[in-house]
Structure 1
Amino acid sequence: MGDSTEDCKPESKPLAINNVDDVEAVDVSSPQNVSVNSEKMKVYQTGWRLHALTAGLCLSLLLSTLETTIVSTSLVSIVNALRGFGQAGWVVTSYLLTYTGFLIIYAKLSDTLGTKLLLMIAIGLFTVFSLACGVSNSMLQLIIFRSFQGLGASGIYSLVSVMTPLMVPPAKYATYIAIISSVFAISSVLGPLLGGAITDHTTWRWVFYLNGPGGTLALLIIGISIPFSFPYASDHDTGLLTKLSAEKAWKKFDYLGGFASLTASILLVFALEQGGVVYSWGSAAIIAPFVLSGVLWVVFVLWERGLSLRKGALVEPLFPWGLACNRFVLGLLLNAFLTGFPFMAALINIPQRMQVVNGTTAVEAGLRMLPLLLCSPVATTVSGLLVSKLKVPPAYILLGGCCLQAVGIGLFSSLPSSGNLAIPAAQYGYQVIMGFGFGFNLGTCVIMVPMVVRQRDMAVTMGSVTQIRVLGGTIGLAVCSALLSTHVGMGTSEFLNNEQQGALLKSFQSIRVLPQDVQLRIREVYAIGYNQQMRAMLYFCAAAIVSLSLLAENSPRKLQMTDGGEIIVRGAERDVEK
C-alpha cells in the first residue's frame, strides 16, 4: 500500500498491523510488554473497564438499531395520531438519510477528536432528539427530529465499529466482535415485539421515550469506563481545547470531501427510498438526485486523489488515496457492499414474507427468524477463532461465507408459491445456512481490516466498510421493493381493479375486505414476488464471490502469535512483525 500522500505505486509487500509510524499496543495486565520506544502507548482494556465499555457499546448500539424496526411496526399508529399518512415514508427516510451519510465523517473525526468524545456526543444527540420525537405534535416536527436522531445513531454505529478492535488485542477480536454482532440479532427480534406491545398497550410516543433512560445510562457507562484519550494511555490526554489548538484540528479536516461524501450519500438514499413509492422512477424528482449523486461521487474521488497527492497540504484527505490504491482495501469494500444487498434483503423481507404470504403476526415472524439471527453471531465467533486460534487465512473464511450465503439465498428463492402456503420446516435450515454465511462475511471483514492497513488508517477504513455496507443494503432494499411492486401490479391486474390494486400496494391490510379465494390468489402472487427478490439477490451473492479475487495471494496472509505474545501478519512474500 502506498503512502496516503503519494500516487499509486506497484503493490507493496504485506504490511504489519502497525508500522514504525504507528503506536505500540499493549495489554495493561502485562506491563512488561510496554515498548519504551513507543511515541504513544495504546492500552487494551481489562477487568471492569472492559466489561463496562462492552455493556455501554452494546446498549447504545441496541437503542440505535431498534429504531428502524420498532418505528416501522408503530408507523400506522404514528401517522394516524399526527394525521400525516402522505408523509409516512419520511418518518423512516429522514432517519436513514443522516444515518447513512455521516458514517465515514464520524470515523475520520475520531482520529482528531477521539472516539470517546465523539461517541458521547452521538449518544447525546440520539437521546435528546429521541425525546424530541416523542413530544412532536406534527409530522413536520417528527420528520425534522428524526433526521437529527439519525445523525446521533450514525455516530453510534460508526464509532462502535471503530472502537471494538481497539479495546482488546487481536486474539480476542472473535469474542467481542461476536458480542457486538449479536446486538443486531437481538434488535431484530425485540423491534417487532416492543413495537407491537407499545402500539397495543400505550401511546406510540413510548417508541421514542424509551431511548431517554437507555441513552442516559449508556452515556454514563461510557463516561466512567474509559478516559478521553482512549485507546491511548491517560497520560497522553492533554485536553480537548489544547489538542484542537495545538494540532489545528479544524483546519486539517477535509470539509469539501466531507460535504461531497455526505451530500452524495443523502441524495442516493433519498432517490432509492422515494423512487417508486412517492415519485415514479422516471420523474425528475428521482432522476435529478441520482445524477447529482453520481456527479458528487466523481468530485469526491477526484478531490481526494488531488488532496492526497498534494505535497505539504495542510488538509488531511477524508479517504487517503493510498487506500484506494490498495487492492485488499478495495476487495473488502466491494465485498462489504455486495454482501449488504442480500443481508438487508433477508433481514427485512423474510419477516415481511411470513406476515404477507404465511399470515403470521409481526411477533411470530420475529421469533421464526431466530435461526438466521442467532447463527450469524455464532458464525462471527467461529470466524474469529479460526483466524486467531487455528491461523486460517481470513480470505478463505470470506470465500466460505460468500458461498454459504449464496446457497441459503438460492434455496430460499425456491419456497412454495402456490397451494399450501404454510411455512415449510426446510426454511429454518435455509436460514441457518444464510446466518452462517452472513456471520462469516461480516465478522471476517472487520477482523481483516487491521491486517491490510496501517493503524492510522484503521478508523477511516472501518467507517468506509460500514458506510458502503449500509449503502449496499439500502440499494438492495430498493431493488427488492421495485421488483415486488412491479410483479404485484402485473400479477393482480387480472382480478383486481385499479382502486383495489392501489389500496393493496399502500397497505397489505386491505386484503382483509376481499373474498377468501381472492386473498389466496394475492398471497400466491406475493409469494412469487418474494422468490423473485431472492433470485435477484443471488446475483449479488455471486458478484461478492468474484470480488474476493482482489484478496488473492500466493500465500494468503494470516495472523500468528509469537512466543512473547506479539502479533504478526504472515503474508505472501515475507513475515512482518508488529
Structure 2
Amino acid sequence: MKMARAAEVQIDDLSVAQVNVDGSETQSLAPKWKLYFLLLGLCFNLLLSTLETTIVSTALVSITNDLDGFSQRDWIVTSYLLTYTGFLTIFAKLSDIFGRKVLLLFSLVIFVVFSILCGASRSMTNLTIFRAFQGIGGSGIYSLVSVTTVQVVPHEKLGKYGAAVSSVFALASVLGPLLGGAITAKPKNWPWVFYLNGPLGVCAIALIIAFLPSTDADRETSKIFRKNAPSNAWRRLDHIGAIILLAASVLLIFVLEEAGTRLLWKSTTIIICIVLCAVLWILFPVWEHFAVGQRHTLREPIFPMGLLKSRFVSGMLLYAFFSGFPFLGVVINLPQRFQAVNDVSPFLAGIYLLPLLLCTPVAAAACGFCTSRLKLAPFYLVVAGAALQILGLGLMTSLPSTPLELQKQQFGFEVIMGLGFGLGLTTLLVMVPIVVEEKDKAVMTGAVTQVRVLGGTIGLAILSQVLNRDVERQLNTIVPPAVVQEIYQSVSTINRLNPAQQYAVRVVFADGYTLLMKVLAGFSGLVLFIAFMLWEKQPRKL
C-alpha cells in the first residue's frame, strides 16, 4: 500500500495548509504577524472594490443631474455590475492557473486606470463604458481576495477571519453612501467619487507587492514573458467556457435593463438577445461537461459541473443568487427613496442607511463567533438570516406614503434587515470548505460570489422595470408627459412644481418604492425555502 505523501502548499515561507494525496488535509499555522499583515492588505483591497458598488448609490442623482440622464441612472450601477459579475468565477479559475498575486495586481491596475477615466467622463455613454471596464478590475479584486482568504486561513479559524473579511464588505456599504453623499454635497464634485480610487489604488498595489508572497503559479506565469520559455498555462485555460459565461451574463442583464424602457419587449433586438442568452446558458454546462471529459487535453473547466450533483452545492448557489436580490436592491434603492420622497440631501440619505449597514458587520462577526467558538452548525445561521430578511422587508412595506415626513420606525426595520443580510451572506463563505474539496475551493468561492452579485444585478434590473412602469403610469395623471420626462432626467425637477404637484409626485414615488419592498420580500421568502435544501439530520460544522 502506498503511503500518503503530504504536499505542502506554500506561499514562499508562509505555510498555510497541507493537502495529502488521499484528499485529507492538515493545517499548518502561518506566523501570526505575517497572516495579520496579509489579511490587512487583502481587506484594504476588498474595501476598494466593494466601495465602488455602493459609493454611487447616493451620488446617482447628482451625476445624472449634471449629465442629464436620470432615466439611465441604473446603468451607472449596472454597467459596473455586469462585468463585476461576469468575471468573478473566471478570475477565480484564472488564479489557479496564473497565480493570485499576478492577477490581483493586474486587476488593481485596470481598476485604477478606468476609475480615473470615469471621473473624466462628460457623457452618460462614456461613463457607462468606462464603468464596465472598471468593473473588470473590481471583479478581479473581489474574487481573488475571497479565494485567497479561504485558502490561507486554517479551517478552524475561518469563521473568525471570514467574518472580518465580510465585515469589510459591510464597512464599504457604510462608507460608500456616506462618501458619495459627502462628495456630492456640491453636485459638480461628483467626479471625485471615481478620482478617489487613484491614491487608494496606489496604496492597495503597494500592500499587495509588500505582503502577498508569490505562489508557484505566479512564478510559472513569469515564464510566459521570457523568450522561448515554455508554459502550459494558456493551454489549461478554458477560453470558450469563459467567453460563453461572460456573454450569457451580459446578455441577460441587457435584456432586463433595456426591455420595456428604451426598447419594446417585442423588438427585434430584445428577441434576438433573449434567444442568444437562452442558448448560451444551455450551452455553458454542456461545454463545461465536454471540457471535463477531454482527458487528453490540459484544459480545465471554468466551473466543474460535477459539483452541482451535490445538494449542498446547488443549495448554496441558489441561496446566494436569490439573497443578492434583496441586499443590493435595498442598498441601492433606499437612498433614492430618501431623496425622492423625503427630499433629503445625498449625504443625509447615506446617514439614514446606517442602521442597516452597521448591523451587517455586527451579524457577520456574530456568525464567526457562533461557528468558530460555539461550534454552531452554519445551517441554522443561514435559516435565521433568511427569516430576518423577510421580517425586515415585510415591515418596510407597512410604511405610510407620507412625503417629507420621515418615519422613524423604518430605522428599526433596517436593523432587522441588516442582521439578516450579515448572517446569510457571511455564512455561505464559511460553508465552502466543509462542502467542497480543497481543489475546488477557489472556483466554488468565486461561483458563490458571482451568483450572489449576478442575482443582485438581475434584481436591480427587475426593480428598475417595476418602479419605472409603476411611477410613469401614475405621473402621467399628475403632470404633463414632458414634465414626466424631466423628472426622469433629474429628480430635482420635483422642487420646481407647485406644492400640490410636489406632494402628489412624492406620494407616487413612495408607493413605487413600497411596491419594490413587497417584491423583495417575496424573493426573501424564496431564500428561506431554499435554505432548507441544506438541511441534514446532523448539520455540518466547521
> TM-score w.r.t. structure 2 length?
0.89
What is the aligned partner in structure 2 of residue 9 from structure 1? none
Aligned mates of 1:32, 1:457 — CA distance in 2 = 17
1:447 is aligned to 2:433 = no
Q: CA deviation at 1:91?
A: 4.5
Equivalent position of 1:213 in the other structure: 199
- Per-residue displacement from partner, 1:515-534 (whole Å, max 9, x unpaired)? 21222222222222211111
Structure 1's 463 and 142: CA in aligned 2 closer, same or farther, altered over 3 A? same
In structure 1, give the amino acid aligned to 2:117. Answer: A
Is the 1:341–1:537 contact (alpha carbons within 8 Å) kept by the matching residues of 2?
yes
Cα deviation, residue 263, structure 1: 0.6
User: What does residue range 481-500 of structure 1 map to in structure 2 within 5 Å?
Assistant: 481-500=464-483
Counterparts of 2:212 and 2:26 in 1: how far apart (Å)?
Answer: 15
Corresponding residue number in structure 1 for 2:244: 260
Describe the superposition over 1:4-61 as per-residue Cα deviations: whole angstroms up to 9, x where unpaired.
xxxxxxxxxxxxxxxx799667999999997998999986544443333223222222
Q: What are the ranges of 5 or more consecutive residues in structure 2 without an aligned counterpart?
A: none
Note if contact 1:327-1:550 (Cα within 8 Å) is conserved in structure 2: yes
Q: Shift in Å at residue 485 of structure 1?
A: 1.6
State which of 429, 452, 456 in structure 1 corresponds to 2:412. Answer: 429
Query: After superposition, where does 1:489-528 map in structure 2 within 5 Å?
Result: 489-528=472-511
Using a 3 Å threshold, how does the CA distance of structure 1 residues 220 and 531 change in structure 2: closer, same or farther? Answer: same
Among residues 323, 327, 331, which one is paired with 1:347 in the alignment?
Answer: 331
**Equivalent position to 1:297, from 251, 265, 281:** 281
- What residue identity is the alignment partner of 2:103? L
Alignment deviations for residues 280-339 of structure 1 (CA, whole Å, 9 cap, x no partner): 444333333232112101010111122223444431111112112111110000000011
Residue 459 of structure 1, aligned match among 399, 421, 442? 442
Name the CA shift for 1:305/1:460 in 2 (closer, same or farther; >3 Å). same
Q: Distance in 2 between matches of 1:121 and 1:282?
A: 41
Q: Deviations over 1:325-378 (max 9, x none)?
A: 111110000000011111111111122222222222221121121111111111
Name the CA distance, whole Å, in 1 between partners of 2:11 and 2:43: 22
Change (3 A) 1:472 1:80: closer
In structure 2, distance between residues paired with 1:366 and 1:98: 25
Of 75-84 and 360-369, more deviation after overlay is shown by 75-84
The partner residue of 1:479 within 431, 453, 462 is 462
Question: How many residues of Structure 1 are paired with residues of Structure 2 in the alignment?
Answer: 534
In the alignment, structure 1 segments of 5+ residues that lack a partner are: 1-19, 560-578
Q: Does 1:320 align with 2:301?
A: no
CA distance in 2, matches of 1:509, 1:32: 54
User: What pairs up with 1:326-475 in 2 under 5 angstroms?
Assistant: 326-418=310-402, 422-475=405-458
Which residue in 2 is equivalent to 1:285? Answer: 269
Question: Contact 2:27–2:154 at 8 Å: present in 1 too?
Answer: no
Moved more, 524-533 or 126-135: 126-135
SS of the residue corresponding to residue 223 of structure 1 reads helix
Where do residues 99-178 of structure 1 align in structure 2 (5 Å cutoff)? Answer: 99-136=84-121, 141-178=126-163
Distance 1:117 1:495, change over 3 A: same
1:51 paired residue number:
36
Q: Give the distance between the partners of 1:141 and 1:474, measured in 2 at CA.
A: 20
Contact 1:44 1:167 in 2 (8 A): no
- Kept in 2: contact 1:415–1:427 (CA 8 A): yes
Deviation at 1:222, TM superposition (A): 0.9
Contact 1:26 1:44 in 2 (8 A): no
Percent identity of the aligned residues? 46
Match of 1:5 in 2: none
Partner Cα separation in structure 2 for residue 135 and residue 502 of structure 1:
26
After superposing the two structures, state which structure 1 stretch, 37-46 or 293-302, moved more: 37-46
Kindly provide the CA deviation profile for residues 533-558 of structure 1, in whole angstroms up to 9, marking residues without a partner as x: 11111221111112123212222111
CA contact (8 A) 2:341 2:506 kept: yes
Q: TM-score, normalised by structure 1?
A: 0.84
**How far 1:76 sits from its partner (Å)?**
6.1
1:219-262 alpha-carbon deviations (Å, 9 max, x no partner): 11111112111xxxx8x975434599666121111111111001
CA distance in 2, matches of 1:167, 1:389: 20
Contact 1:485 1:505 in 2 (8 A): no
Q: Report the 3-state secondary structure (helix = DSSP H, G, I; strand = E; otherwise coil) of the residue aligned with 2:325.
A: helix
Instruction: Return closer, same or farther for 1:462/1:22 CA change in 2, 3 Å cut-off.
Output: farther
Residues 135, 434 of structure 1: alpha-carbon distance in 2 compared, 3 angstrom cutoff: closer
The residue type paired with residue 374 of structure 1 is L
Q: How far does residue 172 in structure 1 lie from its aligned partner after superposition?
A: 2.5
One-letter code aligned to 1:157: Y
Q: CA deviation at 1:428?
A: 1.6
Q: CA RMSD in A?
A: 3.2
Moved more, 315-324 or 67-76: 67-76
SS at match of 1:532: helix
Q: Contact conserved, 1:23 with 1:38, CA < 8 A, in 2?
A: no
